[in-house]
Amino acid sequence: MEKTTRGWLSGLMGVVIFAGSLPATRVAVADFDPLFLTCARASIAGLLGLALLLSLRQPRPEPADARALATVAAGVVLGFPLLTALALRHVTSAHSVVFVGLLPLCTAFFAVMRAGERPRPAFWLFSVLGAVFVAGYAATGGMEASLAGDLLMLGAIVACGLGYAEGARLSRTLGGWQVICWALVLALPVMLPLALVTAPASFARVGHPAWLGLAYVSLFSMLIGFVFWYRGLALGGIAAVSQLQLFQPFMGLGLAALVLHERVSWSMLAATLAAVVCVAGAKRYAR
């Protein structure tokens, strides 16, 4: 199997894993505090990442990479998990997953800023249209809409887009899976003490679904998914493989309906489709 094909398959596996993140977080925050959930998932993944780096005797990153790794940690280890956990106390996972339709655009925007690319005017046209569709849906979401939840989700998308773009850029020299492992290790001295401080006084009332949600976001969303994702970006090309994120909203909506039995309305599907079409157009004119 050629290198590019392996990259696409690895990237697709990463997107499939990420698609379960919001439904799993929704289940977990039913019994866990969002701050504890964020710190716990990062701590568990960080300890596993540290063990992986040590067992495979990976060299330490260069001092020049510290700032980029800190950006990755701030975006995908702290920012996105915490903001989505807070948002999912106000909105359903089916509602929040529509915002994921903006993630490829946000990633492309930060990639443009970091790489100094100059997209054609059509890129910005599709970008504005996509933002209008998603903002319009959020404003007319009826009883399911929440200003606080929508703003938190927008913040989460910005943080994640920055973390994806910076991690993808860094993976060219540091290696795909090493990027997320070192970012987790960098955040571990902060996340582990916070997890212990914010832990509930008793776990007796924590149900099995919440434990399963914590396990999923810790093992798959925070670590394994990134191993596949950054490997896919490294093998198949950042610009090409990142387009696979366009499938994530549809996968997330399907999981929300199948696992959580949440209602997926036609307007929600239409907004997601509109965002995906606009992001696809923007990606076409990104170079």
Q: What is the mean pLDDT of residues 95-109?
A: 79
Query: Is pLDDT above 80 for 271?
Result: no
Domain positions in the chain are 3-284
For the chain, give the percent of residues with pLDDT over 70: 92
* 157 in Cβ contact with 84 (< 8 Å): no
Kindly report the number of other CB atoms within 10 A of residue 90's CB atom.
18
Give the per-residue pLDDT at 158.
Answer: 93
The residues, any chain, with a CB within 8 Å of residue 9's CB and separated by 6 or more, are 1, 232
Query: Is pLDDT above 80 for 136?
Result: no
* 13 in Cβ contact with 228 (< 8 Å): yes
Give the per-residue pLDDT at 286.
Answer: 61
Give the per-residue pLDDT at 269.
Answer: 77
Give the per-residue pLDDT at 105.
Answer: 80
More confident residue, 36 or 143: 36
Q: What is the mean pLDDT of residues 135-151?
A: 70
* 221-265 pLDDT per residue, tens: 999 999 898 888 777 777 667 777 777 777 777 777 777 777 777
Give the per-residue pLDDT at 287.
Answer: 62
CA angle (41 as vertex; 40, 42 as ends), nearest 5: 90
Give the per-residue pLDDT at 78.
Answer: 92
Give the per-residue pLDDT at 41.
Answer: 95
> What is the C-alpha to C-alpha distance for residues 130 and 103, in angstroms, rounded to an integer?
11
Q: What is the mean pLDDT of residues 12-25?
A: 88
More confident residue, 267 or 209: 209
C-alpha to C-alpha distances, 201 to 47, 195, 204, 239, nearest whole angstrom? 23, 12, 9, 46
Query: Is pLDDT above 50 for 118?
Result: yes
Give the per-residue pLDDT at 55.
Answer: 95
Give the per-residue pLDDT at 145.
Answer: 64
Tokens at 103, concatenated: 């993630």
Looking at residue 30, the DSSP 8-state letter turns out to be T
Give the per-residue pLDDT at 280.
Answer: 77
* 38 in Cβ contact with 85 (< 8 Å): yes
Give the per-residue pLDDT at 143.
Answer: 47
Query: Is pLDDT above 90 for 189?
Result: yes
pLDDT band of residue 185 (cuts 50, 70, 90) is very high
For the chain, give the percent of residues with pLDDT over 90: 36
Q: What is the mean pLDDT of residues 154-165?
A: 91
